[in-house]
């Protein structure tokens, strides 16, 4: 992985307003976010020669060549498996740059998830025919992400004694961070009691364990080392990266063990490639589709021992002025659900010193995905 | 692009039987092709740490971790835009290897295109709602690839005087090559008169201008330079690569000029990165969804002057014992339609000296995609 270390840097970010109903096309949202990111970086639109996107994104590269005026893309790739593959877009961009296949690559995500296709609705996933792993899940009513990921949460409770109140501690921390963030959609602070009183969505997941639903888009510009140094702002270096699938990860029914996650692999590799360890990380941006997965990731990435994530998150330890600030923007849970890419943007903002929940002297930030068929992680370093 | 030159090599290939009705799942086909490719290369299944696929492939990486027993994938990426993006899978694999993000990467394509979802059928593409570029095409009856790509063919006829008989010369050459290939589905030689007598599909495209419909799967294993040298067979080096989008390529309605194709960019870049020119290429594997696109690509890749592709293909000049052998396996047109990946396999076979239409002392082979929103090219070199 050494060829990748510091070969690329994040140099600009862009976001639309996050809302429950954008009233615009996803293409329009994507164009706005990408233009803002290019402007923030100080690069011209025609300098963009690579795009990396989520395969679930409805905005494709050809549409962007026509609507943004891109001249010729030398790199186009897609990442699968939803938001948990999110950091993988940055991995792909960094690899393309390291290999010389492109110089200035944009990662983006645009979706009208609240006013359009709602991932949390069973009807979204219903099909006339199912095959593969779904054939073992859907007939039992496991349609939505909450149905599936609730099983992992329950397994952790059984194995390690993790409690719903500990999930609640994550929700409280993320909402507190969002309360400081004017971009955030959910800014009213909550308590653990509010969490406990929120309705069950898919046992053991309560409403306040789940990410919100949002419309919006965001984008990150990465460029090669030489170019990065010449731009407007100090770059945030892509110091280490990893992608991982684990083994037997098709659905949940084939897994040998719900406690052994892809993150086990991606954690080891991201630290190896960055040549740092968890004790050097100043803040972590963790994909929070559901609060228990923040706990699992804290264990997988070595911030505490396996099984101790539940107690680690108690008493505000993942809040901004404490042991390990997590999702200082509010995350999918409270800022907006733009499928995890804002986590990378927040890492960048922390290193630039412009977070609304700024971590004092932040130098190294981990952004990581979570369990679910594909995971990825990136460590960003201050210039 | 220098970081990519010779950083990776193709070391093994695998194919299922190609048929009109496989009677099996696409997952089963993919597993067979990948296992055969790994065996051909002499690498263990658990050594595969990367997968690159077409986004249209129904077989995802998670399914393969479960069904092949892959231990942990460090690289997973997808390429869009159908078969014309085909060589891009090799570009992605080579970039991942060059960047150190993976060591042994498999590119695959599995589809029951004839017995399952048929791309040539209008009903396959019909939707209740259309947006973007499709909104300007579909209401006019432009549903299938033949409808769209026929427009490019007609434009070439108008601008350059290219004739249907010249399209026929491509069909005759590809069928002759297939007649020598026991894997090929269509092995009865045809004449230009047979081509002219074949029915119109989408004017000016006749039946024998179109690729066939097939079920099957194939796979190519690539690995890093050091590892490649230690394996069973001589490697085929990935000497140059390129991807390109062109500009304003969303659909056909936004294009400034139907004659200016993405291939213009990918041709320049693949030669630049490989540090060779068209005069050094011994044979070309050109994505042949429709015969006219072989002609366009011969021009774009500099084998003849622009506008002269029609006369270039006459009199057997693209047949195996002539000026520039093209698609010596028979291509999408006559071997099988596995969406262009067999073109890379045939390039590999030529360099190994095992083609059924072997080009004497083949040293350098070009495999390239064609016009259509995304294109890509690879130059492979004999060890």
pLDDT tens, residue by residue, B297-347: 999 999 999 999 999 999 999 999 999 999 999 999 999 999 999 999 999
H/E element, A149: helix A145-160
SS3 B215: strand
In this complex, which of A66, A74, A95 lies closest to B243 when CB atoms are compared? A74
Which of B243, B270, B274 best probes binding to A when mutated, by most A CB atoms within 10 angstroms? B243
pLDDT tens, residue by residue, B149-205: 999 999 999 999 999 999 999 999 999 999 999 999 999 999 999 999 999 999 999
Nearest CA in chain A to B253: A66
Chain B nearest C-alpha distance from A263 (Å): 11
Active-site residue (options: B54, B271, B287, B301): B287
Helix A145-160 and helix A292-300: axis angle, to 10°?
Answer: 60
Which of A30, A69, A72 best probes binding to B when mutated, by most B CB atoms within 10 angstroms? A72
Active-site residue (options: B81, B119, B271, B337): B337
SS3 A156: helix
Chain A nearest C-alpha distance from B84 (Å): 13
The phi and psi torsions of A198 (rounded to 5 degrees) equal: -75, 150
CA dist B236 and A313 (Å) reads 52
Inter-chain contact B245–A94, Cβ cutoff 8 Å?
no
Confidence class for position B291, pLDDT limits 50, 70, 90: very high
- Beta bridge pairs of residue B377: B242, B368
CA dist A181 and A356 (Å) reads 6
Chain A nearest C-alpha distance from B122 (Å): 21
In this complex, which of B25, B75, B249 lies closest to A62 when CB atoms are compared? B249
In this complex, which of A72, A98, A249 lies closest to B244 when CB atoms are compared? A72
In this complex, which of A92, A247, A250 lies closest to B77 when CB atoms are compared? A92
Inter-chain contact A72–B1, Cβ cutoff 8 Å?
no
Inter-chain contact A67–B250, Cβ cutoff 8 Å?
yes
Nearest CA in chain A to B268: A74
Identify whether A53 is part of a domain: yes
CA dist A156 and B330 (Å) reads 55
DSSP B290: B
Nearest CA in chain B to A97: B99
For chain B, first and last CA: distance in Å? 20
Q: How many CB atoms lie within 10 A of CB B207?
A: 13
Say how far residue A291 (Cα) sits from the centre of its chain. 13
Predicted local confidence at residue B84, as pLDDT: 80
Structure token pair of residue B125? 């593409």
Q: What is the 3-state secondary structure (H, E, C) of A291-307?
A: CHHHHHHHHHCCCCCCC
Helix B26-41 and helix B61-68: axis angle, to 10°?
Answer: 70
Chain A nearest C-alpha distance from B4 (Å): 6
Rg (CA), chain B: 19
Inter-chain contact B247–A72, Cβ cutoff 8 Å?
yes
In this complex, which of B66, B96, B246 lies closest to A254 when CB atoms are compared? B66
Alpha helices, DSSP H only, in chain B? 26-41, 61-68, 87-98, 122-125, 145-160, 164-179, 192-197, 225-229, 263-274, 292-300, 309-312, 331-334, 341-352
Question: How many domains, chain A?
Answer: 1
Rg (CA), chain A: 19
CA dist B43 and A218 (Å) reads 41
Chain B nearest C-alpha distance from A241 (Å): 8
Identify whether B87 is part of a domain: yes
In this complex, which of B67, B247, B269 lies closest to A65 when CB atoms are compared? B247
Inter-chain contact B245–A131, Cβ cutoff 8 Å?
no
Which of A71, A95, A256 best probes binding to B when mutated, by most B CB atoms within 10 angstroms? A95
Q: Is the pLDDT of residue B33 over 80?
A: yes
The phi and psi torsions of B368 (rounded to 5 degrees) equal: -140, 155
Active site residue A287: yes
Let me know: does B240 contact B276? Beta carbons within 8 Å.
yes
DSSP B239: E
Predicted local confidence at residue A85, as pLDDT: 79
pLDDT-flagged residues of chain A (< 50): 1
- On whether the pTM is more than 0.95, the answer is yes
- List Cβ neighbours of B320 (8 Å cut-off, separation of 6 or more): B176, B177, B180, B328, B357, B358, B359
From chain B, pick out residues whose CB is under 8 angstroms from the CB of A73.
Answer: 243-245
In this complex, which of B76, B248, B374 lies closest to A374 when CB atoms are compared? B76
ipTM of the complex: 0.96
**Residue B370, burial from CB neighbour count under 10 angstroms (0-12, 13-18, 19+):** buried
Identify whether B236 is part of a domain: yes
Identify whether B230 is part of a domain: yes
Predicted local confidence at residue A255, as pLDDT: 79
CATH at A89:
3.40.47.10
Inter-chain contact B7–A77, Cβ cutoff 8 Å?
no
Chains A–B, number of C-beta pairs less than 8 Å apart: 176
Give per-residue burial for A85-124: e unless 16+ CB within 10 Å, then b: bbbbbbbbbbbbbbbbbbbbbbbbbbbbbbbeeebbeeee
Nearest CA in chain A to B267: A74
Confidence class for position B260, pLDDT limits 50, 70, 90: low
From chain A, pick out residues whose CB is under 8 angstroms from the CB of B4.
Answer: 99-101
Identify whether B198 is part of a domain: no
The phi and psi torsions of A236 (rounded to 5 degrees) equal: -110, 115
Domain range enclosing A306? 8-116+212-382
Which of B59, B66, B82, B136 best probes binding to A when mutated, by most A CB atoms within 10 angstroms? B66
Identify whether B330 is part of a domain: yes
Identify whether B279 is part of a domain: yes
From chain A, pick out residues whose CB is under 8 angstroms from the CB of B98.
Answer: 3, 98-100
Predicted local confidence at residue A1, as pLDDT: 44
Tell me the pLDDT of chain B averaged across its residues: 94
CA dist B330 and B179 (Å) reads 8
Identify whether B132 is part of a domain: no
**Short-list B239, B200, B243, CA closest to B52:** B243
From chain B, pick out residues whose CB is under 8 angstroms from the CB of A88.
Answer: 76
Chain B nearest C-alpha distance from A73 (Å): 5
Active-site residue (options: A108, A119, A287, A301): A287
Confidence class for position B381, pLDDT limits 50, 70, 90: very high
């Amino acid at each position: 992985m050494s060829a990748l270390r510091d070969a690329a840097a994040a140099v600009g970010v862009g976001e639309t307003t996050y809302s429950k109903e954008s009233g615009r096309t996803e293409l329009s949202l994507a164009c706005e976010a990408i233009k803002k990111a290019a402007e923030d970086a100080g690069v011209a639109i025609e300098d963009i020669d690579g795009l990396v996107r989520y395969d679930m994104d409805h905005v494709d590269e050809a549409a962007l060549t026509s609507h943004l005026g891109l001249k010729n893309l030398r790199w186009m790739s897609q990442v699968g498996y939803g938001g948990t593959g999110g950091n993988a877009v940055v991995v792909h961009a960094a690899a393309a740059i390291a290999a010389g296949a492109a110089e200035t690559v944009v990662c983006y995500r645009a979706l009208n998830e609240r006013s359009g296709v709602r991932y949390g609705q069973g009807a979204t996933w219903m099909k006339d025919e199912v095959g593969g792993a779904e054939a073992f899940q859907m007939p039992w009513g496991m349609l939505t992400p909450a149905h599936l990921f609730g099983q992992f949460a329950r397994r952790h409770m059984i194995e390690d004694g993790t409690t719903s109140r500990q999930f609640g501690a994550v929700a409280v921390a993320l909402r507190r961070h969002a309360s400081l963030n004017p971009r955030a959609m959910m800014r009213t602070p909550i308590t653990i009691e509010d969490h406990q009183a929120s309705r069950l969505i898919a046992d053991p997941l309560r409403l306040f364990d789940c990410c919100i639903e949002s419309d919006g888009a965001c984008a990150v510009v990465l460029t090669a080392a030489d170019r990065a140094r010449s731009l407007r702002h100090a770059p945030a270096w892509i110091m280490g990266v990893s992608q991982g699938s684990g083994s037997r990860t098709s659905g949940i029914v084939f897994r040998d063990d719900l406690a052994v996650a892809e993150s086990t692999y991606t954690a080891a590799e991201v630290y190896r490639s960055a040549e740092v360890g968890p004790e050097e990380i100043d803040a972590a941006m963790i994909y929070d589709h559901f609060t228990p997965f923040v706990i699992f990731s804290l264990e997988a990435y070595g911030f505490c021992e396996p099984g101790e994530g539940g107690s680690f998150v108690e008493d505000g330890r993942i809040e901004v002025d404490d042991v390990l600030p997590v999702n200082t923007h509010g995350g999918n849970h409270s800022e907006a659900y733009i499928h995890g890419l804002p986590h990378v943007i927040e890492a960048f903002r922390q290193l630039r010193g412009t977070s609304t929940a700024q971590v004092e002297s932040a130098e190294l930030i981990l952004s990581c995905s979570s369990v679910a068929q594909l995971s990825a992680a990136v460590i960003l370093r201050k210039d």
